[in-house]
Amino acid sequence: MKITIVTACPGGQTTSWLAAQRLFRAAERRGWRAVFHPDDSGDSDYVIVAASAPVDLSGYAGRALYRAELSQALAEPDTVLDAAESQAAPYEPSAADTAPAADDTAPAEAASGQRIVAVTACPTGVAHTFMAAEALAEAGRALGHQIRVETQGSVGAQDALTDEEIAAADVVLLACDIEVDDSRFAGKPIYRASTGAALKQARSTIEAALAEATVESAGQGSAGSGQGQAKPSMKERGIYKHLLTGVSFMLPMVVAGGLCIALSFVFGINAADEKGSLAAALMQIGAGSAFKLMVPILAGYIAYSIADRPGLTPGLIGGWLATDLGAGFIGGIIAGFLGGYAALAVKRFVPLPASIQSLKPILIIPLISSLITGLVMIYVIGTPVAAILEALTGFLNSMGSTNAVLLGLLLGGMMCFDMGGPINKAAYTFGVGLLSSQTYLPMAAIMAGGMVPPIGLGLASLLARPKFDTAEREGGKASLVLGLCFITEGAIPFAAKDPIRVIPCCVTGGAVAGGLSMFFGCKLMAPHGGLFVMLIPNAVTHASLYLAAIAAGSAVTGLLYATIKPRVAADSASASTDALGLNSSAS
């Protein structure tokens, strides 16, 4: 059996390439031969078209052809092959040659589908935000709906929804792992999901949104419960989401402060001790201001995620008290949850006469919740948490080489296990939090480990070129660049295709990099930037050894994967790139 695979997407090359590879691998497992569009010689038994963008199919006139959705090819390639084998029919060119392809089960209302507006947002606002947006856009178009997706990434909102688009929308889909302002969607049916669900199950997420979205009551937000949201999970709702919201808002403060501290070291490690100097001013901006604000920001936006705007005041106050009392980021996290739930309790359970109800948001809630949070922090939580943090900081700063290496192995491996998921975020949050107590060793190990997967897999694509098709080798080049920027998600396309081999290789290399970083005593002042933050003198201590740690971990990952990766079929090496070429022209 021989098939020809045609894929195309409107948003770029990644989704088209992944769909093509999924179909190719499924065919390979059946013992079929598969070729891609440019290598089609006209002798294939049938043609499979999985596209959500216009494709010129005129060259396939009279050939047995089957159309599938791009999202279905990604999720269920074997189902697509089964359907193609039984339902492929001779193709007759028509005006539809330039229309997006869809399978025979696509909704008949393609031209008059629902209007959907969506927002995607992940804690760091880099990879998952945009990948989820692309997946939703493609699935929505494939289902015949009109969809507009706004991304709230690290640089703010992009492709922002207009008031007119929101007013005309039939449903609002919020695929967010952090809290976003939903006040502009008041009165509209809202469905809430995670970026992971939107990325991996885009079609079912849209279908659930259309079926289950409900108009939320005033102030319900993320704290409410209703039918218009996916079933709660620790990642999508509750403690995890509130914590990530705080981390998301805190992160720019930490990055800016860390870079200012690093810049002050350009003039010498102790140059900031000279009052009135530029180095002293930079240190005051970084350590004296930004780092002092990071814990209040963390606590304030944890509370905001829980109770909306009424939670900001007690959260910020509790966070500042945590800083003053020496309770650090641990105290800040506790203060954020305490302030948020105190504000939510006052908001819901303190009855007031109608005559003074208007005073509740500006007087009653801030006062009572701030008193509760502040008094508990001062008399109950602050001192013991400060003692715990001091002990933790002392232990980390005085670790012997064995303990340091073990911690580095753990943190480096965690950064590579799910590449942007909960385990990765837990390790990263731990390192960022310790920066407030001037503990810089773990952050260096964390960034070193996080850079390894994309660099290592890119290296593997160079070391074992015959085992990678052309498209994978091109993806490896992009992965190398993303790795140098400390964007671990650059390894996701490789992990999605071959998780059984890729993840252990990445975890092993990341653990090696993290362990070596701790062994060498490398300290990192800024929690992001990858290789480029090292251009700032003294931003990383023992810079050459730090580079050696990253290189060693990347080499381990690259060599391991290059060794165990199976060789691809000979005829696929050029075909995948050609599929990408089709996608580019179609997009």
Q: Annotated catalytic sites, by residue?
A: 9, 122
Element (H, E) at 176: strand 171-176
What whole-number distance in Å separates Cα of residue 447 and Cα of residue 416? 11
Cα R_g (the chain), whole angstroms: 26
What strands lie across the sheet with 156-158, from one edge to the other?
156-158, 146-153, 115-121, 171-176, 189-193, 214-215
The single-letter DSSP state of residue 539 is: S
3-state secondary structure of 392: helix
- Answer for the pair 37, 49: CB distance below 8 angstroms, yes or no: no
The tokens describing 413, both together, are: 């491996």
Let me know how long the chain is.
587
Name the region of 169 (left: φ>0; alpha: ψ -120 to 50; beta: rest).
Answer: beta
Q: Which is nearest to 508 in space by CA: 469, 585, 560? A: 560
- Listed in sequence order, the DSSP H helices in 109-218 are 127-142, 163-168, 195-200, 202-212
Helix count (H) and strand count (E) of the chain? Answer: 22, 11
Strand pairing category for 46-51 and 33-36? unpaired
What whole-number distance in Å separates Cα of residue 215 and Cα of residue 175? 16
What whole-number distance in Å separates Cα of residue 529 and Cα of residue 259? 10
- Answer for the pair 210, 216: CB distance below 8 angstroms, yes or no: no
Distances (CA, A) of 294 to 81, 289, 291, 374, 378: 53, 9, 5, 18, 19
3-state secondary structure of 439: coil
E strands along 262-339, which residues? none
Residues 6+ apart with CB under 8 A from 357: none
Q: Which is nearest to 23 in space by CA: 10, 44, 11? A: 44
- Listed in sequence order, the DSSP H helices in 485-542 are 492-497, 499-520
Q: Which is nearest to 552 in space by CA: 417, 456, 422, 408? A: 456
Place of tokens 């909102």: 157
Distances (CA, A) of 423 to 76, 299, 411: 27, 21, 10
- Answer for the pair 150, 158: CB distance below 8 angstroms, yes or no: yes
What whole-number distance in Å separates Cα of residue 549 and Cα of residue 555? 10
CA 579 to mean position of chain CA atoms: 27
